[in-house]
Amino acid sequence: MILCIAEKPSVARDIAKVLGATSAKNGYMEGNGYCVTWTFGHLCTLKEPHDYNPNLKYWDLGSLPIIPQKFGIKLIPNKGVEKQFEVIEKLVQECEEVINCGDAGQEGEVIQRWVLQKARCDKPMKRLWISSLTEDAIKEGFAKLKDADEYQNLYLAGNARAIGDWLLGINATRLFTKKFGGGKAVLSIGRVQTPTLAMIVQRQKEIDAFKSADYWELKTKYKEVIFNANIDRLTSQERAEGGLEYLKQHPFEIVSFEIKEGKEKNPRLFDLTALQVEANKKYGYSAENTLKYVQSLYEKKHVTYPRVDTTYLSENLHPKMHGILASMKFYQDLTAPLLGKPIPKSKAVFDDTKVTDHHAIIPTEIMPSSSLMKEEKLVYDLIAKRFISVFYPECKISNTVVEAKVGTIPFKATGKQILEPGWREVYAKDKKEEETSNKEEEQTIPEFVAGESGTHEPFIHQGKTSPPKPYTEATLLRAMETAGKQVEDEELREMLKNNGIGRPSTRANIIETLFKRKYIEKKRKNLVATPMGMELIDTIEDELLKSPELTGEWEFKLRKIEKGEYEANQFKEELVQMVRELTWKVLRGQNKTIEIKEATPEPAKKERAPRKKSEIIWEETDCPKCKSQKLIKGKTAIGCQNFQGCGFKVPFEIFGKKITEKQIQDLIKKGKTSKLKGFKSHPNNLEEGVLNFTSEFGIELS
């Protein structure tokens, strides 16, 4: 029997139908030599701190940093999860081969691998990798099953991402909550969440600090065309009025007149972020809701896999384009001009070097029915029209530039005219067609002759400088994609994606998390940091936690792990080192920027770290853990001189009780203290006992 494991019951039913496994059982489908079962998203998660040590239920600075020797997984505590896992575990033991049919992406790989690991799967394993759930796509996928080992790097990257989020989230949240929370609130820190909040807070501060200033511009009208003085804005009304008087005394003269023909490139196909941006701009949909709508369209077989970060298609998909376009019966007036001739194979659309796990989001041959929700119809319409538009010709335009002068003051006017609409024809009937921000560029400019002159009507335009614009979900998603850099050019933005913060599939959830934790709020379409969000970012002085660029470097390394170009274990060791350094510096009151550096191999023999003048060597005692460094005395603990590499320390307060240096000396030299009383915050409510070390040099009370 061959066991297929899908990520959702609905997907399992689609696969079972194709395979002929039509007999419904309790938690799976059976037939034709196959069993098809399912998870429903995550059944497993990384173990929590108290799963490693019950004492870690209590949030205590003395227990930080929490770094398990080996990370484990556990079932999510839920009766439905436990029941379905029992089905999977039984089938895994009975089958001859397993086919991983999880969502074809990094998260899908981790979800399925963790479940199979928990079920102790030792059977041969294949991988189904498909980009849509149509019957043809499923059949084609089963005809091209891959060995699961080919996706090992994808799993290692996803697993490293989860561990990285755990290490920083667990330790930094406890660290800042206990150090700065005042016992009133949890200060939630996250690898992607915190730099995203930092961007919003920074923009908020720029807006709050902005002071509007008046400015004046000189303009004039000549033959019904408005010309702008091609000089810096004037900062005083007196200078503007003086300039106006000067203009009245001189005639208007055309210096040059030029028309250049150009082209506007077709828009790119959608990746998930671009779709979320467009849906937010056009319909005000949140990133989370857009993901929900497009995921539903995918599961209903109307569009391809949505959680993608590329705007390109694989070159081998080109022959299928005609069939998809021909099937789009609701768009016949738009597809008709394309179907009578070969579909162009542009490198702006088809490029294997730009496609990773999946291609861009496009429609399938299965058109939606009238039963779709209104929101799903509108999102489908965005995808369908974008797909059609990429195969139209480029839009041909003419740009007119007129330069003139009045006396010695230069003037300029520009205009744009569409000569052949090309791809813009697809959007001609849209009510909310993209508007030009500068209305004056829309003016019709007649033909001028260099040297002509005449009377004109000069005037002054008074305005005020504007503050930076608050983030909307659309602009925040773009900022996350480019690690905070303001990038309009699509090609440059594509190059920066590898260093963006978060993944397309997780960015919506990050924004929603900031809402739920009341760090941000929405005012109309704008995202605004709350006082709590502002205070949290102000509390964090360390750039490691709030820098989009540094977090982007982490993402870059995770992508390298996917490609087999970086070791997952090295990435984890770097994170462990950073967490240790962060913890030690915050506890000692030092908040210096921590730069992300690639870990270097540890020398065979540890050299003794040079002693800093500020370090107080304690008792000339060797560290009991690494045995190669002395112990030093800090403000809150006694710890290893090489704390970054070793991690050993004993705090002056343990489980709510102040510990004397004599008691710490007993613990370090003898391995335990005498019997002590007065513990106030032990997770098991112990009030007295003997402190001793665990095998990993954690501290426990017994």
Taking a C-beta distance cutoff of 8 angstroms, is the pair 549, 198 a contact? no
The Cα 367–Cα 197 span in angstroms is 40
Handedness of CA 633, 691, 689, 683 (dihedral sign): positive
Sorted by sequence, the CB contacts under 8 Å of residue 370 that are 6+ apart come out as none
Burial class of residue 281 in the structure, from the number of CB atoms within 10 Å of its CB (0-12 exposed, 13-18 middle, 19+ buried): middle
Q: Are 76 and 43 in contact (CB under 8 A)?
A: yes
SS percent in the chain: helix, strand, coil, step 5: 40, 20, 40
Partners of residue 491 on adjacent β-strands: none
- Strand-pair category, 97-101 with 2-6: parallel
The continuous run of DSSP H or E covering 693 comes out as strand 691-693
Residue type, 199: M
What residues contact residue 354 under an 8 Å CB cut-off, 6+ apart?
310, 311, 312, 494
Q: Residues in the chain, how many?
A: 702
Q: Is residue 58 among the annotated active site residues?
A: no
HEC secondary structure over 4-33: EEECCHHHHHHHHHHHCCCEEECCEEEECC
Q: Could you tell me which of 311, 412, 290, 417 has the C-alpha nearest to residue 361?
A: 311
**Helices 287-299 and 374-389, axial angle in degrees (round to 10):** 80
Rounded to whole angstroms, the Cα distance separating 161 from 261 reads 49
Q: Distance (Å, rounded) from C-alpha 108 to C-alpha 143?
A: 21
Helix ranges (DSSP H) in 636-700: 643-646, 661-670
Q: Report the DSSP beta bridge partners of residue 30.
A: 23, 35
For CA atoms 602, 604, 610, 616, the dihedral sign is positive
Helix (H, G, I), strand (E, B) or coil at 366: coil
Catalytic residue among 52, 305, 331, 380: 305
Q: How many of the other CB atoms lie within 10 Å of CB of 13?
A: 16
Sign of CA dihedral 39, 40, 41, 45: negative
**Minimal CA–CA distance to 102: which of 31, 11, 22, 18?**
11
Question: 471: helix, coil or strand?
Answer: strand
Separation CA 598–CA 561 (nearest Å): 13
Reduced to 3 states (helix: H, G, I; strand: E, B; else coil), residue 269 is: coil
Pick the closest to residue 243 from 215, 272, 284, 201 (CA basis): 215
Around Cβ 142, how many Cβ atoms within 10 Å? Answer: 17
Strand 125-127 vs strand 97-101: parallel, antiparallel, or unpaired? parallel
Q: Find the DSSP H helices in 457-542.
A: 473-481, 490-496, 504-516, 531-539
Whether the ω angle into residue 446 lies within 30 degrees of 0, i.e. cis, is no
DSSP bridge partners of 146: 127
What angle do the packed helices 152-180 and 548-562 form, to 10 degrees?
Answer: 150
552 vs 549: CA distance, rounded Å: 5
Q: Which of 289, 263, 389 is nearest to 331 (CA)?
A: 389
**In a 3-state reduction of DSSP, which class is residue 661?**
helix
Residue positions annotated with a catalytic role:
305
